[in-house]
Amino acid sequence: MNPLITGWTAVSPYGVGRAAFAAGVRADGTAVAPLDRAEWGGPPVREAARVPIGAPRDVLGRKGTRTMDRATAMAVLAARDLLRDPSPEEAEAVPEAEAERTALVLGVSTGPIASLMDFTADSFTRDRPYLVDAARFPGALMNFTAAQLAIWHRLRGPNSTIAASRVAGLAALGYALRLQRAGRADTVLCGAVEEFTEERAWLEWHAAPPGALPPVLGEGCAMVRLTMPAAAADQGPAAELAAVASGLAGPDNAAQVLERCARRALAEAGERPDDVWAVAPADPPGPPGDAEAEAIDALFGRADGRGGGPVRVRTAGRLGDTHAASAAFQTAAVLALAEHDEAAAGRPALITAVDRDGAVACAVLRPAAGRRPG
């Protein structure tokens, strides 16, 4: 029995909430904008796609936000949407019994890069190498964002952080699927988050091939609410999570591994490539993106611009390179478009991701007919 996606949301460069994201996706507009050079101390890049929020305390208040980074603030805002919890200071986000059966699975790249680098720098720059600010240590841990999110919304079910770089969003969906099939949770909030910082920009700048510019970077958090069918009677599902598959490729066979991965996921879902309504690639820059395009062409035929084959859903060029959050945004974009496309009802959508370190993953969603989730 597969879980149902009974809600989704996004905190994106288009704005906060699913309505802003859906409008941006359907308008096919870009959220990339020039950086304020007077405030920017990073590498000489000119553009980025940033979420239009300030510091965490500007959007969540002063309480509990002193050591919070923007990635955590974005995840808290996304979960608030799905929990229908406009005022977390007043009462628990979910009832006690439900809190015990509500899990959280959050995908990240490697954790809070800025906090980790700042804490490491402190060990070299303070009076003695070991005289660091202990209060900042939790913020440098990989699971800081997921832990803070659970504390903020008082969730007591399984709490997991999946550090899987560009495939993090799909790896999180796979983990959530196993949690629910094993009976560990009735509801899972599942998503991924990435923050735009000077530290991340510098790392991408130095990782770019000689003579090449790094990709335009983006940030944000996208999240879905997964519910088992027995508990979803009063919630209109957006889609069924039909299958998730993953693999590990070598330097020269990423396209072949991703193609096999996609065929395996479609077979598990009881679908064929000819049945697919839409495909949403991650479109990473360089060889990973080339391999992904080759695998999709092998599955569905080369896109010829004449309307043949599945709809191609693309977000990278409009939201920037959101890295760990990219597959989560691809998922949200598919759900946003499916709500207004009658051809999507009951037909599968394929979401793919390829990382430069060799990880590949894909997921099959089956949009529901005639329902519009909240």
Give domain status of residue 372, yes or no: no
CA 183 to chain centre: 24
Give domain status of residue 146, yes or no: yes
> Quick one: 217 and 244 in the same domain?
no
- 């395009």: which residue's tokens? 293
CA 238 to chain centre: 17
Looking at 173, 207, 231, which one is the last position of a domain? 231
Looking at 199, 231, 263, which one is the last position of a domain? 231
- 């992904």: which residue's tokens? 292
Give domain status of residue 374, yes or no: no
The candidate with the shortest Cα–Cα distance to 152, out of 208, 104, 214, is 104
CATH of the domain at 142: 3.40.47.10
pTM of the predicted model as reported, rounded to 2 decimal places: 0.91
| Cα–Cα distance measured from residue 18 to residue 21, given in angstroms and rounded to the nearest whole number | 5
CA 124 to chain centre: 34
> Quick one: 105 and 191 in the same domain?
yes
> Quick one: 225 and 83 in the same domain?
yes
- Residue 321 has phi, psi (to 5 degrees) of -85, 100
Give domain status of residue 226, yes or no: yes
- Outline where DSSP puts E strands in 166-206: 187-194
Give domain status of residue 167, yes or no: yes
Percent of the chain topping pLDDT 90 = 60
> Quick one: 221 and 243 in the same domain?
no
> Quick one: 250 and 185 in the same domain?
no
Residue 241, pLDDT above cutoff 70:
yes
Per-residue pLDDT reduced to its tens digit, 173-216: 999 999 999 999 999 999 999 999 888 888 888 888 887 888 89
Residue 308, pLDDT above cutoff 70:
no
> Quick one: 187 and 308 in the same domain?
no
> Quick one: 159 and 119 in the same domain?
yes
Q: Structural domain of residue 138, as residue ranges? A: 4-231
Give domain status of residue 373, yes or no: no
